[in-house]
Amino acid sequence: MTLPKTALVYTSAMSDHPKPPGDAAAPPQLQIDLDDATAQGAYSNLVLINHTDNEFVLDFAYLQPGAPRARVRNRIISSPRHTKRLLRALEFNVRRYEERFGKIDEPDPIPTGGLIS
C-alpha cells in the first residue's frame, strides 16, 4: 500500500520576513514530500542525546506523568556539522519566538548532560 504524499513548497526561509524586491540572490525553492502519518508529528517531552566522533543521535521520547519508563517516538541521526546548523537554527527561532511571545521560562537546574526533559 502506497501512502498519499503531500508536497510542501518553501519559497522563503522565514515567511514573515519578505524578500526585498529584485533580490537576485534568492535561494532556490525546496520541495518536501510529507506523508500523512509524518505530517501528524509526534509529541515529545524528553530528548536523549548521544554522539560519537562521526554522528549525533537524538532520541525523542514521551514520558507519561508518573510512569517509570519513556517510549522513544523518533530517532534522528545527524552529522556533527548538520547538528551544529540545527543548534543555530533553534537558537535563532527561540530568540524570534521570545521577541514575539515573551521569555520562555527555563526549569531549574538547566540540563548539562545528554538528557533534556
By CB neighbour count within 10 A (0-12 exposed, 13-18 middle, 19+ buried), where does 62 fall? middle
List, for residues 51-78, the tens digit of each pLDDT value.
999 999 999 999 999 999 999 999 999 9
Please, where are the H alpha helices in 1-117?
A: 36-40, 80-101
Please count the structural domains in the chain: 1
Average pLDDT, the chain: 82
User: Lowest-confidence range among 18-27, 61-70, 72-81, 86-95?
Assistant: 18-27
pTM greater than 0.75: no
| pLDDT, position 112 | 60
Q: Which domain holds residue 9?
A: 5-116
Q: What is the mean pLDDT of residues 22-26?
A: 65
